[in-house]
A and B are shown apart, each in its own frame.
Chain A
Amino acid sequence: MDLSLSTRTVGDRTVVEVGGEIDVYTAPKLREQLVELVNDGSYHLVVDMESVDFLDSTGLGVLVGGLKRVRAHEGSLRLVCNQERILKIFRITGLTKVFPIHTSVEEAVNATD
């Protein structure tokens, strides 16, 4: 199982759909994608994690890194996730306070702070 990534633009947001396993081996691929988007001027990101089967702390680190990058441009990074086993990891690390987590891409795309 590898990591799959696809991006699309919805209004002023860029939606990154992630599938598969995000771990120490695959996380660099996600990091590259986020870095590339920010370098290309996409500062409002929505990371759709509905097809993610596994996420570990390396993946969390990449998401935190992405958040740091978009914030440097006054951007945003929102997550879409309804899977309890993935949400649990955000909860035990306290990251639910750091990331806005939405139940659908539509909700995330329309969200404002």
Chain B
Amino acid sequence: MATVELRFSALPEHVRTARLVAAAVARRAGVDEAVLDEVRLAVGEACTRAVGLHRSNGVDMPVRVVLTEEEKKFSIEVGDEVPETSSGPGSRTGDEAAGHPAPAAGEPGAEEAEDEGTMGLAVISGLVDDVEVTSGPGGGVIRMSWPTTPTVELP
């Protein structure tokens, strides 16, 4: 059962809302203050990527963000509705769907990143230790998790 679930229209202005909500829920769940910046950035990157995929593929459905407080970790799932098989400009490529990061900076591909934000996955994989990128006929999902510090229960 998700702690908080968020669905938003695939518009750039809503990505900030998703970041704020994710950081607030992560803080409540006991994610270390020092890591909240990473949570904020990683969720932002995942949502930006999903918004980009929806828009470039003409998908009207909302982007899904599922925030779950588990026993010793806090997990976030960001799901898009762009099927793996979709083609055309901006569709998910085989490489990207398999979780390979975008070209690193300094490599020839980096300069084309300006419009497509292909550095997003590279940032996520650089930031988050526990991350999984999957995609199927129903769309793609980025799953990330962070350890939580258990709150001390007073007797």
Contact = CB atoms under 8 A, between A and B. Distances in A.
B106 A61 contact: no
B123 A24 contact: no
A47 to B, nearest CB: 15
A24 B113 contact: no
B117 A24 contact: yes
Interface residues of A, number: 24
Contacts, number: 86
B115 A92 contact: no
Contacts of A106: none
B33 to A, nearest CB: 12
Contact of A61 (B12, B37, B115): B115
B41 interface: yes
B60 interface: no
Contacts of A93: 104-105, 119, 122-123, 126
Interface stretch (B44-52, B80-88, B133-141, B145-153): B44-52
Interface string A44-76: 000000000010111011101100100000000
Contacts of B115: 61
Contacts of A89: 41, 123
B120 interface: yes
A57 B105 contact: no
B48 A58 contact: yes
B134 to A, nearest CB: 20
A61 B118 CA distance: 8
Nearest to A93: B105
Residue from B12, B44, B105, B111 with most neighbouring chain A CB atoms (10 Å) = B105
Nearest to B15: A24
A62 B48 CA distance: 15
Interface of B: 12-13, 15-16, 19, 37, 40-41, 44-45, 48, 51-52, 104-106, 110-111, 113-120, 122-123, 126-127
Interface of A: 1, 21, 23-25, 31, 54, 56-58, 60-62, 64-65, 68, 85, 89, 92-95, 97-98
Q: Nearest 6 A-B pairs (CB), nearest first?
A: A92-B126, A65-B114, A57-B119, A25-B12, A94-B105, A24-B12
